[in-house]
Amino acid sequence: MGRRAKHKQGAPAPYVDAADKPSAKKLGKRKAEDEGTRNVKKMKAGASEGKSLSKGSGKGKENAGKAKGGEKGSQSVKTKRKEVEEEEEEDEDEDVEMAAGGSSEGWEDVEEGVSLKVAAKSLFHGSDDDEGVVGDLDDLEIDEDVDELDDDLLRGPVQELEFDSDEDEDPAPAPVRLKGKKSKQQERPAKIIPTLSDASSSSSDEEEDDEDEDGPITMANMEKRSRAIDAKVVRDTELDLEEMQAAVKDGEEDGDDFDGEEDEEGEGEEGEGGFSLPTAEEREEEKKAGGPQVHAVQRRMRECVRVLENFRKLGAKGRSRSEYVSQLVSDIASYYGYNDFLAEKLFQLFPVSEAIEFFEANEIPRPVTIRTNTLRTRRRDLAQSLINRGVNLEPIGKWTNVGLQVFESSVPIGATPEYLAGHYMLQAASSFLPVIALHPQPGERVLDMASAPGGKTTHMAALMENTGVVFANDANKARTKSLTANVHRLGCKNVVVCSYDGREFPKVMGGFDRVLLDAPCSGTGVISKDASVKTNKSDRDFTLLSHLQKQLILCAIDSVTPDSKTGGYLVYSTCSVTVDENEAVVDYALRKRPNVKLVDTGLEFGRPGYTSYRGKTFDPKVALTRRFYPHVHNMDGFFVAKFKVEKRSKQLQKKDEEAEGGVAGEVEGEVGGTSFAFDSDEDRPYLQESKRKSMKAKGLHVRPRTQSKPTLPAPSIATAVEASA
């Protein structure tokens, strides 16, 4: 609850409306195209006309005018939200529940499971630096499985949740009728981004495809239509990229930067174009008066984006860039419902206007997708069966041969006979990625170190054709129940479920050909499913999570046998977009384990990982990692890195053991005598800083710092471009 999608942004407009109202910016560049090809941004423009703050609207005066016209409301953002909430409650409650991953049921188990907490606590204490740790996992809200939809949708149909509540002729789980209010999924036909190879192979099919645009999807035309749609989305995406690069270039030419460090003053006139940045006093007054009005916030955000994109020309004299940034971040936080800390953290990841697109995309649910279980059926057979039941679906894209995107359904997609028979898994498209990257082979010995509820485990079992063995581990015993249930339902016979803290590997067991570490994380990539992330994450959570992830990744590396004849790989993934949980962890692993190297993920799309970020420089090979974003790829925010583990030279091994000193001895593993202790020296300043903050928050006396604060400076323009390449 408390999501802007619910309170401020109307349901995405149906196709036709959306076509009539593309964003101002895009209108100039693109002809109105087949609505089926519209990506998330285009839809958004039409869907939230007058409300959306997407890139186009950020620049379009037209929209600014509309927002101005709507300024008559006298309520604050919060009051306004509350009112809208009441109005919409009946219609949308179920919808939001679903979008949030419907996770309430799946998550209740998590609370019950104490094993993780106990184990984690003891392990933290066992580590080198537990004095510096001011909390443990008890205090952490780790994202555990919001990228998996299986548990949620098992208990309720996708479309049914979105239909009029008075359609009670078809109670769940019986099929619901398609008449009446359209589901959001119907209104939101955006495709998940395909690969460029899709585009090139499909051009000849496109015209034909247009002809049967309105006809039913059949097995015969399904692939073809999908390819054509994919191709158009690719074109859109390329245009978006061009636009973004042009915007960045403009900024460069104008001396604009994204690092926020060079806090120069603007040259423009204060009040130019009817907008003037509030002073500190005005902001204070606004706060006292109960916060800004919703339309005023919208307008101010647009104006700030516009100014920041061309600061030298548009920034008011005497006002600094950081004042605009600070105003914008504060408005983003109140408008989208984030705490200030997280709003700023996420804002810093992108160039200004792209940041708004990211926040906007978090308000829109991602497409519903399913993964064919090839142990039980073939995708074309599954698609046919579901089409016969009234499900409107298409293959996700060329990059997966098992995924289907569900657009609408007259039956509960989580309770069809095919679902119950294990023919498919309800699974976010992003969740396919780490398994594709790991590429497990038949006959191998594989470890899924943090596996519940088993979306990726069962995918791996299928790729291995039920041969070899997958050890599916999860520290949370309660969660292994749903994991076991999925393993059974999908007919995986090569899976062994176990429950250890991942940091106990390879002591428990080692010598794996491949390891997947789909790490516990903050979930900043799945905010559209779990809006609680917006407010429940603090600086300290990220410090603790990053620390845990670094410990886990070293254990995962040491669990891989470099002697593997077929493998020797580790894939590290998270459903988070923060650098601390991704590139920083990967870079740490590279430094601590010289016997591993990053290799290409084999994924055909995704942005390269940051090699430098806010003053921190990572190994250049970190560019081989891949980032996925809701606003770019129309899938959950995700991160994937693939490592090849090689033999350690005796010298290196000795050196490492010496460097790790006594700590290595504490938890020495079984595999090849390799040490796998976590060396947390480099985290110590961060942990200490976190402790300071926590003490301050409690009103305790804090001694002055002995060393400088471990903060990272803002990103340079080069970094921003690099990240968006």
Ligand X SMILES: C[S@@+](CC[C@H](N)C(=O)[O-])C[C@H]1O[C@@H](n2cnc3c(N)ncnc32)[C@H](O)[C@@H]1O
Q: Which one, 137 or 228, has the nearer CB to ligand X?
A: 137
Does position 151 interact with ligand X (CB under 6 A)? The reply is no
Among 453, 525, 630, 715, interactor with ligand X by CB under 6 A: 453
CB of 180 to ligand X, least distance (A): 34
Helix or strand (DSSP H, E) at 639: strand 638-645
115 is in an annotated binding site: no
CB contact at 8 A, 427 and 455: yes
How much of the chain is helix, strand and coil, in % rounded to 5? 50, 10, 40
The answer on whether 453 is annotated among ligand-binding residues is yes
Using alpha carbons, select from 599, 434, 606, 598 the residue that is nearest to residue 517. 434
CA 635 – CA 396 distance, rounded (Å): 11
Q: How many residues in the chain?
A: 725
Six token digits for residue 715: 């990103």
Q: Could you tell me which of 675, 665, 435 has the C-alpha nearest to residue 572?
A: 435
- Residue 251 near ligand X by CB under 6 A: no
Among 18, 425, 461, 475, binds ligand X (CB under 6 A): 475
**474: contact with ligand X by CB under 6 A:** yes
Closest separation between CB of residue 557 and ligand X, Å?
15
In angstroms, give the least distance from the CB of 346 to ligand X.
19
Residue with tokens 């995918």: 459
Q: Is 501 in the site for ligand X (CB under 6 A)?
A: yes
From the CB of 670, what's the least distance to ligand X, in Å? Answer: 18
Site string for ligand X, 105-134 (x = CB under 6 A): -----------x---x--------------
CB of 523 to ligand X, least distance (A): 8
Decide whether 58 or 455 has the Cβ nearer to ligand X: 455
Structure-token pair, residue 330? 């504060």
Of 46, 60, 520, 606, the one binding ligand X (CB under 6 A) is 520
SS in 3 state form for 480-521? Answer: HHHHHHHHHHCCCCCEEEECCCHHHCCCCCCCECEEEEECCE
Stretch that binds ligand X, among 44-52, 139-147, 238-246, 525-533 (CB under 6 A): 139-147
Contact residue for ligand X among 26, 55, 371, 456 (CB under 6 A): 456
Verify whether residue 575 is a known catalytic residue.
yes
Instruction: Rule CB under 6 A: choose which of 502, 506, 525, 630 binds ligand X.
Output: 502
Cα–Cα dist 419/150, whole Å: 10
* Interaction of residue 148 with ligand X, rule CB under 6 A: yes
Q: Collect all residues with Cβ–Cβ distance below 8 Å to 219 and sequence separation of at least 6.
A: 380, 383, 384, 387
Per CB under 6 A, 452 contacts ligand X: yes
The yes or no reply on residue 440 touching ligand X (CB under 6 A) is no
683 is in an annotated binding site: no
For 336-377, give the DSSP string: HT--HHHHHHHHTTS-HHHHHHHHHHTTSPPPEEEEE-TTT-
Part in contact with ligand X (CB under 6 A); list of ranges 64-72, 220-228, 292-300, 501-509: 501-509
Assess 525 for contact with ligand X (CB under 6 A). no
* CB closer to ligand X out of 315 and 520: 520
Instruction: Figure out which of the listed residues 377, 451, 494, 549 binds ligand X, where binding follows CB under 6 A.
Output: 451
Let me know: does 402 contact 488? Beta carbons within 8 Å.
no
Q: Please identify which residue in 95, 128, 136, 145 interacts with ligand X, judged by CB under 6 A.
A: 145
Tokens of 212: 């049967």
Residue closest to 448 by CA, chosen among 178, 177, 145: 145
Q: Which of 13, 53, 96, 142 binds ligand X (CB under 6 A)?
A: 142
Give the angle 292-11-534 at the CA atoms, nearest 5°: 50
Considering only 187, 518, 583, 683, the residue that binds ligand X (CB under 6 A) is: 518
CB of 461 to ligand X, least distance (A): 12
Applying CB under 6 A, does 403 fall inside the site for ligand X?
no
Q: What is the CA radius of gyration of the chain?
A: 25
456 is in an annotated binding site: yes
Query: In angstroms, what is the minimal distance from the CB of 333 to ligand X?
Result: 26
Q: How would DSSP label each residue in 383-408? A: HHHHHHTTEEEEE--TT-SSEEEEEE
Give residues with Cβ within 8 angstroms of 275, minimum separation 6. 299, 300, 303, 307
Per CB under 6 A, 530 contacts ligand X: no
Pick the stretch among 52-60, 239-247, 468-476, 710-718 that binds ligand X (CB under 6 A): 468-476
Token reading at 661: 């000193």
Dist CA 708 CA 253 (whole Å):
34
The answer to the question of residue 394 lying near ligand X (CB under 6 A) is: no
Whole-number minimum distance, CB 518 to ligand X, in Å?
4
In DSSP terms, which residues pair with 395 in a beta bridge? 404
- Residues that are catalytic: 575
Residue list, annotated binding site:
450-456, 474, 501, 518
Q: Footprint of ligand X on this chain (CB under 6 A)? A: 116, 120, 142-145, 148, 431, 449-456, 474-476, 479, 501-503, 518, 520
Q: Which residues are annotated as a binding site for S-adenosyl-L-methionine?
A: 450-456, 474, 501, 518
